[in-house]
Amino acid sequence: MAEMLPSQWALVTSFMGYLAAFYAITPQRPSPLRLAASREAISIFHCTSMTVLTAICLQKELPAAIAQGWEQKGRVPLVADRDLPIITTKSTFANSLSAIETAYLLQDSLVLLLAAQTKQVFLHKKTSRPGKAPAKALRGLNLRHLGWHHALLGSAFVVLQIYIARGKEKGILIIVAMMLMNASSPFGTLRWFLINFRPDLKRTIKALTVAYLIAFGTFRVGLLYYILRAFGGQMDISALKAFHRLRLPCKLGMSSLGLANTAWFLNASRSFVLRELSFRRTAD
């Protein structure tokens, strides 16, 4: 029997750990809002810890890969972009982080499926009440968005784990860098929590909204430029030229993600500013 890789141990233990944590903090018959709160608590822990671990991993692995690229440029010409050290570098640390992300997506998918099957969260007829708090939880969970997100991203990470098991993974540092997008999620989740459980803390909610928008713009929009700049740095070209050199599937994926995140960021920022202006005019 083949020995399990560190990333496989990380996948199994993280999956079981997240499930155990969810059941430990969730009552046997939770209300829709309480079930959502348990799910979001796991989300805050995961996104915060993964952001810290991802930053540590990149600080440890990325400079060495970039430096190696500069050394190779002075000695041996690279025949293709896929031969750049930032693409070919292998990292047990990075592989394990991708496994933990996979475990979280699988666990969260099961939680959403459980909620849908028990009809406690996603059926308006059984959850809507005079206060409409359960309905608010439904809208906050956004099942359709989460379903598509988990199906697409989760499938991609499962495929990545197969490649890692075969020792054929490529671009793991780029993938881990993309996981820094987790950094914006805790702000949005804390904001959701206060809106649902402490709506009286209006100033704190407003501050979290601003923090969430800043984090979203930095880690879900600006991060793409940082990745392209690091990629282009190994060829001594700009981020824009690095984008043009990407293979078509990568180019389509990067541009789609960038456009979608930028559109969401601009729309959310616009809504926040208009809401604040309207509130101030009303107050005056």
pLDDT computed for residue 121 by the predictor: 46
What's the chain's average pLDDT?
A: 85
76 versus 96: the higher-pLDDT residue is 96
3-state secondary structure of 79: coil
3-state secondary structure of 222: helix
pLDDT digit string (tens) for 48-74? 999 999 999 999 988 877 766 655 555
**Residues of the chain by 3-state class (helix, strand, coil), percent to 5:** 85, 0, 15
Mean pLDDT for 183-198 is: 91
Share of the chain above pLDDT 90, in %: 53
Task: Please answer whether residues 208 and 187 qualify as being in contact, where contact means their C-beta atoms are separated by less than 8 angstroms.
Answer: yes
As a whole number of angstroms, the distance between CA 167 and CA 61 comes to 18
> Is pLDDT at 141 greater than 80 in this prediction?
no
Share of the chain above pLDDT 70, in %: 82
pLDDT computed for residue 259 by the predictor: 96
Mean pLDDT for 30-42 is: 84
As a whole number of angstroms, the distance between CA 141 and CA 38 comes to 12
What are the extents of the domains in the chain? 6-283
pLDDT digit string (tens) for 221-249? 999 999 999 888 888 889 999 899 888 88
pLDDT digit string (tens) for 92-128? 999 999 999 999 999 999 888 877 665 544 455 454 5
Among residues 158, 169, 174, which one has the least CA distance to residue 109? 158
> Is pLDDT at 79 greater than 70 in this prediction?
no
